[in-house]
Structure 1
Amino acid sequence: MSVYTYEAKTIRGADKRLSEYKGHVLLIVNTASKCGFTPQYKDLQELYETYHDQGLEVLGFPSNQFMGQEPGTNEEIEQFCEVNYGVTFPMFAKTDVKGSNAHPLFQYLTKSAPGLLSKEVKWNFTKFLVNKKGNVVKRYAPTTNPKNIVKDIERLLAE
């Protein structure tokens, strides 16, 4: 079992098999537009621009499950990300990341890399680093700045 087993809807509504990312290092992040961590979009975009040609994909999954901090439509979210942060990395449709309706991908991610107190995603901008084989390597707290993940990303890209 790996992340390649799953598919999700892109922010524009197309079905996307995650197996299309085979051989890439993935940083999967649940995002929100009205969160104190929202400025991390800028750092995520910088990571994407710096390492994309070496095989990194940043995948953004907006979620409205944390204090309603992602209230917009998929179109509004996409526009917000492009206009305010120049986001060009793949964004997916608004997604449940916890609870009984959590997307199967996030059920897998949280089972593979549980948090300190529970498996569930606890807040926006929780990050999961996935190696080229599709296996979850590490989970990062929302407070972890994407720039502080660079060494782990570089190590996986070199494998």
Structure 2
Amino acid sequence: MSVRRREVLGLLAGAGALPAFGSGVVGAQGVPSASSFSFQRIGGGAFPLADYRGRPVLIVNTATQCGFAGQFATLEQLWQRYRERGLMLIAVPSNDFGGQEPLEGAAIAEAARQSHGATFPFAEKTAVKGPDAHPFYRWAAAQRPTEAPRWNFHKYLVGRSGELIGGYSSMTDPVGPQLVRAIGQELQAG
């Protein structure tokens, strides 16, 4: 059995233990797409990724006390540059790496706004690694195991049709050429 087939079968077998995917959007090979998942908004409501189908979505696990927290400012630059062209950016606060997100709820977004000018949307704090990881993060890790988050400010780019374009490490500058090029290609694809 191929590694890819084992990943897909493992993902599907584990799906029964996952919360509902939401919209049930399935990719061409019968595997759920990113559009199948939803994050909880700070303050209530949801970010169903299916609402952003046709647009690239950048999902970034964040932590206000991390040494990479300066990326809130460069993520804001990216957001201001590309949101009118269709980019959606969602910050997903997590305390998984070094316990660097001590805040809860709206205090997280407020701290990022005050310290770094972040105005992009924030999800509720959630796990992004391990067995308690949010279903999106488990799906993404199964899709691209070598690109799974290893620290705060890991970035996943979801394409216009819900496919996972890539994972980018904490070291990837949000306004650097690698990520900007990938976002630009997705924006031009429409």
The normalised TM-score by structure 1 is 0.93
Q: 1:6-155, aligned counterparts within 5 Å?
A: 6-115=37-146, 120-148=148-176, 149-155=179-185
The normalised TM-score by structure 2 is 0.79
- Secondary structure of the structure 2 residue equivalent to 1:147: coil
State how many pairs are aligned: 156
Question: Residue type matched to 1:124 in 2?
Answer: N
- Give the Cα–Cα distance (whole angstroms) in 2 for the partners of residues 108 and 127 of structure 1: 14
Superimposed CA distance per residue, residues 11-30 of structure 1 (whole angstroms, 9 cap, x where no aligned partner): 11222311111111111110
* Root mean square deviation, CA, Å: 1.1
For CA contacts below 8 A with separation 6 or more, give which structure has more relative contact order: 1
- Give the Cα–Cα distance (whole angstroms) in 1 for the partners of residues 44 and 111 of structure 2: 17
Structure 1 or 2: larger strand share? Answer: 1
- Give the Cα–Cα distance (whole angstroms) in 1 for the partners of residues 64 and 79 of structure 2: 19
- Give the Cα–Cα distance (whole angstroms) in 2 for the partners of residues 98 and 13 of structure 1: 23
The Cα of 1:132 is off from its aligned counterpart by 0.4
* Runs of 4+ off more than 4 Å: none
Residue ranges of structure 2 left out of the alignment (5+ in a row): 1-31
Residue ranges of structure 1 left out of the alignment (5+ in a row): none
- Give the Cα–Cα distance (whole angstroms) in 2 for the partners of residues 46 and 93 of structure 1: 22
Q: Give the structure with higher Rg (CA).
A: 2
